[in-house]
C-alpha cells in the first residue's frame, strides 16, 4: 500500500479544487454547492460501489444530521459549532443504527427497496403536521445560523472533501478493504472462512454515513434552512446517484467529477433555459455518457493519464486507479 502516492494524488485533487474556486471567484456559490454535492456523491459511492449494496437511503444520514443541527440551532439557540457536532453524531449514529441491521438481514433488490421506501416514509413524516413543532413541517426550519459564500468556506469544504477521500482510499487499500472487495463477489467463500462480511460492510456504511452527515450539516447551514428538499428528498438522492454514475461509480474522484460537472452544467444552462430543459440536457447527456462510458467520465481522464505516463514519463500503463 503506497500511502504517499495516494496522499500526493489527493493533494493534487485539493489543489485543482482550490484553483477552480479561485478562477470562479465570482461564482463561488456554485463552487460551494458543487463541493457539497461532491461530498454527498463520494460518500454514497464509497459504500454503494465497494460493498455491492445499492443504498438508496443515504439521505437518511444527510437529513438526520441536517435537521438535528438545524433544530438545535433554531429551537434552543445553541452555537453553530455545537449544533453541527451533535448533528453529525446523531446523523451518523441514527442512520447507521437503522440501515446496518437492515443490510445485515436483507440483500439485493429488497435492500434497495427498503432503503428507498424508508426515505419516502421519513419525508412524508417530516412534512406532516405531527412533526411540524419539531421540523417546521413543509416550511422547514429557518432562519438558522449559517455560512456565506466566501473563499474560506469554499477552501474548507475542499479540504474536508479531500481529507475524507484520502481516508476512504486508505481504508479501501487496507486489509479490511481487500476483504470487502473480495466479499462483494464471493460472500459465501468469505463466510466459509469464518468471517462475517457484514462486519466490514457495516464499517463502510458507518464511514460513508459519517462523511454524508458532515456534508448534511454543512449543506443545511449553507442553505440557511432545513427543508425536506435539501435533506430527505428522493429528488436529492436521485441527484446524488446521477452525479456519481456520470462521474464514475467505482471511483471516488469520479464522484467528485460528476458532482462538479452536473452543478456547473446547470450553472451555465440556467442563463439560457428553464429548469426542465436543463434537466433534459443534463439527464440526456448523463444517459449517453453512461452507455458510451460505463465506467464514467473519470475513465477518460485515467486513459489520458496513462497515455501521458507512457509518452512523457515513459512509464508502463497502469491499471485504472479506482481511488
Contacts with another protein by CB under 8 A lie at 54, 101-102, 105-110, 112-114, 116-118, 120-125, 128-130, 234, 238, 241-242, 245, 249, 276-277, 279-280, 283-284, 286-287, 290-291, 294
Report, in Å, the least distance between residue 178 CB and another protein. Answer: 22
- By three-state DSSP, how is residue 317 classified? coil
Please state the closest distance from residue 280 (CB atom) to another protein, in A: 4
Q: Which residue, 151 or 267, is less far from another protein as judged by CB?
A: 267
- Answer whether the bond into residue 266 is a cis peptide, omega within 30°: no
Q: Of the two residues 72 and 259, which places its CB atom closer to another protein in the complex? A: 259
Q: Which three cell numbers stand for residue 133?
A: 413543532
d(CA 218, CA 127): 21
Residue closer to another protein, measured from CB, 178 or 277: 277
CB of 265 to another protein, least distance (A): 14
> In angstroms, what CA-CA distances link 264 with 17, 39, 42, 243, 259?
13, 16, 17, 12, 8
For cell 445560523, the residue is 145
Q: How many CA atoms are closer than 13 Å to the CA of 117, on its beta-carbon side?
A: 7
Query: Between residues 17 and 242, which has the closer beta carbon with respect to another protein?
Result: 242
> At closest approach, how far in Å is the CB of 83 from another protein?
26
Residue placing its CB nearer to another protein in the complex, 198 or 249: 249
CB of 71 to another protein, least distance (A): 19
Contacts of 100 (CB under 8 A, 6+ apart): 202, 205, 206
Question: CB 300 → another protein: shortest distance, Å?
Answer: 18
**Cα torsion through 226, 227, 233, 235, rounded to 10:** -100
- Closer residue to another protein, CB minimum distance, 1 or 125: 125
Burial class (CB in 10 A: 0-12, 13-18, 19+), 302: buried
Amino acid at each position: 500500500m503506497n500511502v504517499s502516492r495516494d496522499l500526493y494524488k489527493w493533494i493534487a485533487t485539493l489543489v485543482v479544487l482550490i484553483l477552480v474556486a479561485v478562477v470562479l471567484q465570482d461564482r463561488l456559490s456554485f463552487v460551494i454547492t458543487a463541493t457539497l454535492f461532491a461530498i454527498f456523491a463520494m460518500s454514497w459511492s464509497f459504500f454503494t460501489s465497494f460493498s455491492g449494496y445499492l443504498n438508496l437511503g443515504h439521505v437518511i444520514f444527510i437529513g438526520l444530521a441536517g435537521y438535528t443541527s438545524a433544530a438545535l440551532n433554531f429551537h434552543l439557540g445553541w452555537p453553530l459549532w455545537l449544533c453541527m457536532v451533535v448533528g453529525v453524531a446523531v446523523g451518523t449514529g441514527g442512520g447507521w443504527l437503522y440501515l446496518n441491521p437492515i443490510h445485515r438481514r436483507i440483500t439485493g433488490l429488497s435492500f434497495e427497496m427498503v432503503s428507498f421506501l424508508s426515505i419516502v416514509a421519513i419525508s412524508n413524516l417530516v412534512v406532516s403536521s405531527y412533526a411540524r413543532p419539531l421540523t417546521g413541517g413543509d416550511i422547514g426550519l429557518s432562519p438558522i445560523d449559517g455560512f456565506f459564500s466566501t473563499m474560506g468556506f469554499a477552501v474548507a469544504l475542499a479540504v474536508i472533501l479531500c481529507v475524507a477521500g484520502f481516508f476512504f482510499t486508505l481504508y479501501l487499500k487496507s486489509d479490511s478493504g481487500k476483504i470487502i472487495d473480495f466479499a462483494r463477489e464471493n460472500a459465501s467463500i468469505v463466510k466459509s472462512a469464518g468471517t462475517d462480511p457484514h462486519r466490514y460492510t457495516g464499517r463502510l456504511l458507518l464511514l460513508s454515513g459519517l462523511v454524508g452527515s458532515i456534508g448534511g450539516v454543512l449543506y443545511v447551514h449553507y442553505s440557511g434552512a432545513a427543508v425536506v428538499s435539501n435533506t430527505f428528498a428522493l429528488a436529492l438522492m436521485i441527484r446524488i446517484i446521477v452525479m456519481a454514475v456520470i462521474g464514475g461509480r467505482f471511483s471516488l474522484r469520479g464522484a467528485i467529477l460528476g458532482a462538479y460537472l452536473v452543478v456547473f452544467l446547470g450553472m451555465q444552462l440556467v442563463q439560457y433555459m428553464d429548469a426542465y430543459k436543463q434537466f433534459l440536457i443534463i439527464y440526456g447527456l448523463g444517459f449517453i455518457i453512461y452507455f458510451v462510458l460505463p465506467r464514467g467520465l473519470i475513465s477518460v481522464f485515467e486513459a489520458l493519464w496513462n497515455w501521458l505516463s507512457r509518452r512523457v514519463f515513459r512509464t508502463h500503463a497502469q491499471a485504472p486507479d479506482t481511488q
